[in-house]
Structure 1
């Protein structure tokens, strides 16, 4: 039975072998390959390059589905474009769709640089069959944890961000340094971004991780102030999350209460798990009581080792 080259790319994608997937897909000049190339960048959390490849595939980036939906739609399109093999006349059962069996709770703050550094690994976890990532914003830098962005704190933040970049490879741009850290009368306050993520959780919950990573790229790469609700609403609009964007522009008491409940639950989780600081991972299902903390360092090491820890829960 012959195998379409893009099927091999899909196999690498599902196995988390991103480099191998990229190496194969870039040698195919078809529009299907461009779509799949865009999906690979989506899986990595790189929305800018993903949009570029979607454009090459003549697909509308901002009206796309979730990552899982895009992969399923691509697989269907690829199957429809591949002629049947005359030697493959035996009818085979269709594979059963995978269902999440392990829940990974991600404790984080949207203004945490180390949380941003974990974005590629989280995208891979989210795309792994049998794994579901649940976001739990801790509000670490909101409310009493917020503070003015003065020159001393900006210098400290930039030095810390440079260390993160050296250790993980995640970019922190000069635009971020000049337009966010050096902004006069700026604030270091994750409350608005946490509220915006809660709006996504209430309207398009499957896309909350995507929204978080878009906020992170807007701040650390594009140099946009993600403490400003207007910026957050614009980012959500660009993602096609219009209902969430409307809530951010005109927040309701119900939305604010939901955010406070999420933060309180995340902090209770941290206390119960004995976790200190963010990011943190908790593996298991809170309903069954089978949960354990993996610690934030697991997000920066070998992905296969992390996945083994997750699936052993």
Structure 2
């Protein structure tokens, strides 16, 4: 296997609708440039503390999601829009899903992004409560990770790793001049450059082509 020539840094949050909208772009980059481009995930914690969903907050989210779906083509399922967002018991909390991504990566280095995608799809399409540990463990099993080992790794990540990871992610966001989630940064030879992406929503091939044009030539 060849060594990647560059790194795509993805500063995200699993519960960020615009990050879900960007999922096809990141997935295409991984699929088409994976031998030349490493992916590193940086969870920034949009909801750093548990936050109960209020009716006004749900209304704001629904309006934003309608725009995200229109621009990106990403589907928002009825179980999410009519179920999860309509239930006042719903809690938004970024640390458990971010810790789940760290746990997945600790078990298999290439499992981090599939875990993020599984969490996003579970939340936005299936209306699952991805703050709950048993739900996260089920998602880990769906992507092929051992449930018991994952559950142990999740508890360890929550206890020891996730706060430091979030702090480092937010420092990186500030260092590169990012404006929020998602922020995408291409690192080549130690030099970091912001990647604009909004113009590529719904056009993953164009996003991949712009990255490929910046990568060093393969000899």
The interval holding the TM-score normalised by the smaller chain is 0.7 to 0.9
Whether 1:140 aligns to 2:46 is: yes
Task: Show the 5 A alignment for 1:201-212.
Answer: 201-212=105-116
Note if contact 1:103-1:284 (Cα within 8 Å) is conserved in structure 2.
yes
Range with bigger deviation, 291-300 or 98-107: 291-300
- Mapping 1:146-157, distance limit 5 Å: 146-157=50-61
Normalized per residue, the structure richer in strand is: 2
Partners of 1:116 and 1:301 in 2: CA distance: 12
Instruction: Select which of 151, 163, 177 maps to 1:245.
Output: 151
| Length-normalised TM-score, structure 2 | 0.87
Q: How does 1:294-309 map to 2 (within 5 A)?
A: 294-297=195-198, 299-300=200-201, 302-309=203-210
Q: Tell me the residue number matched to 1:121.
A: 25
Matched, 1:280 2:183: yes
SS at match of 2:9: strand
Equivalent position SS for 1:118 = helix
Q: In 1, distance between residues paired with 2:167 and 2:139?
A: 26
Counterpart CA distance in 2 for 1:171 and 1:304 is 19
What is the number of equivalent residue pairs in this alignment?
Answer: 210
Q: Which residue of 1 aligns with 2:7?
A: 103
After TM superposition, which residue ranges in structure 1, 4 or more long, deviate above 6 angstroms?
A: none
Determine the C-alpha separation between the residues in 2 that align with 1:159 and 1:290. 37
What's 1:216 paired with? 120
The CA distance in 1 between the partners of 2:91 and 2:198, in whole Å, is 28
**Gap regions ≥5 residues in structure 1:** 1-96
Q: State the alpha-carbon separation in 2 of the partners of residues 116 and 123 from structure 1.
A: 11
Q: How far 1:305 sits from its partner (Å)? A: 4.1
CA distance in 2, matches of 1:305, 1:170: 17
TM norm structure 1? 0.62
* Gap regions ≥5 residues in structure 2: none
Instruction: After TM superposition, list the pairs within 5 Å mapping 1:161-180 onto structure 2.
Output: 161-180=65-84
Cα pair 1:278 1:296 within 8 Å, conserved: no
Max radius of gyration: which structure?
A: 1
1:99 positional shift: 2.8
Distance 1:305 1:169, change over 3 A: closer
**Cα deviation, residue 165, structure 1:** 0.8
Which secondary structure does the structure 1 equivalent of 2:7 belong to?
A: strand
How many Å separate the matches in 2 of 1:305 and 1:186? 37
- Residue 84 of structure 2 contacts residue 127 of structure 2 at CA under 8 Å; is this kept in 1? yes
Shift in CA distance, 307/296, structure 1 to aligned 2, threshold 3 Å: closer
Q: CA RMSD in A?
A: 1.9
